[in-house]
Amino acid sequence: MDREQWSHVVEAATRAPSIHNTQPWSFAAAGDRLDVRTDPSRALHTLDRSGRQRVISCGVAVEFALVALRADGAEVAVELLPDPADGDLLATLTVTGTGEPAEEDRVLGAAIAKRHTERAPFRPEAVPAEVVDDLQRAAATFSVWLKPVSGSDEEVATAFLVSRAEELEQGEPEYLAELQQWLRTDPAAVDGIPVGAVPEQDPAARPSNWLVRDFVVGSRPADRPPFHNPADPDAPPPEVERPAVVLLGTDNDDAMAWLTAGRALGQVLLRATAAGLAASPLTQALDWPATRTQLRSRLSLIGHPQMLLRLGYPGTDRTPSTNRRPVAEVLTFSG
């Protein structure tokens, strides 16, 4: 593998989503080997004190790199956490041969450039059960379970915990300061959450049963009304958005489990994209140990929830994708 080839792979890898678009990764290429490391300097010390979501984000990048390699016909060996003495080294990908890529590899590789987080409301079409089944099978290959949040009791309990966690976060000054630190008003910014990628509408006013994270909460009026109290009391209630919501989880809750959950999440996102779907996280309830524990209890989960996703068909007015740091900033060569 030459430098141009590795640059292409790393460019694909950095298209992975990451918590607050912190892009907490770095890459080192040498011959046919690519090391993927986490970058602690880009950690979220309030929102992600354990580093769990940072490692999950890097796991998605590992999977995107692998998908890009396979789409180009490479055969790849993957080793996770290869050096116990170096906890920041998360994965090593080694090209062991070349061949003709399978059609599925080509499709998934093409989905990398098409995928981006969609926080705007979805169209009302339901996500077909067979698509969810495919996502479950893909996650299961990593020993990661994917559970659709279905049934009124599960939906009510999960939506409540998401809303409760959002309320807790909005009352935490350190969280708000960290959120502001990663909010970007310059559309050319190469990391963070650009204001243009966040719907102007207050999430609390959106006719949806799921509350997305409010990235500009600091500019909202404190006495804003909820969506179910319209200014015109005689107005018909808005059509409520009801996306498919799925929960990904693992049996264990350590760095290996987080990294593997990230890889499974990468597959789920690319397969959803190939099926015409978009996704966005609903991770508030997983940010805080208390609500994460309550979610395990309320849904009678055996294992540990790692990612909550809303899935649906995007509308025509999509929010823009977020920028990425230049490959030269995250990739080094040796040998």
Q: Are residues 46 and 155 in the same domain?
A: no
User: Residue 76 sits in a domain of what CATH number?
Assistant: 3.40.109.10
Contact of 308 with 158, CB cutoff 8 Å: yes
Residues 6+ apart with CB under 8 A from 334: 28, 29, 30
User: What CA–CA distance (Å, rounded) separates 32 from 12?
Assistant: 17
Question: 188: buried, middle or exposed (CB in 10 Å: 19+, 13-18, 0-12)?
Answer: exposed
Count Cα neighbours of 275 within 13 Å in the Cβ-side half-sphere: 22
119 located within any domain: no
User: What CA–CA distance (Å, rounded) separates 318 from 118?
Assistant: 7
61 located within any domain: yes
Q: What is the pLDDT of residue 223?
A: 57
Give the predicted TM-score (pTM) of the model: 0.93
Q: Are residues 89 and 145 in the same domain?
A: no
Q: What is the pLDDT of residue 119?
A: 87
Distances 38 to 22, 23, 212 between C-alpha atoms, Å: 11, 9, 27
Q: Count up the domains in the chain and report the number.
A: 2
122 located within any domain: no
Structural domain including 19 reads: 3-114+324-333
Distances 270 to 139, 151, 208 between C-alpha atoms, Å: 12, 26, 25
150 located within any domain: yes
pLDDT mean by block of 10 residues, the chain; 335 residues: 97 97 98 97 96 98 98 98 97 96 97 93 92 98 97 91 91 92 92 83 75 74 48 51 92 98 98 97 93 95 96 86 95 91
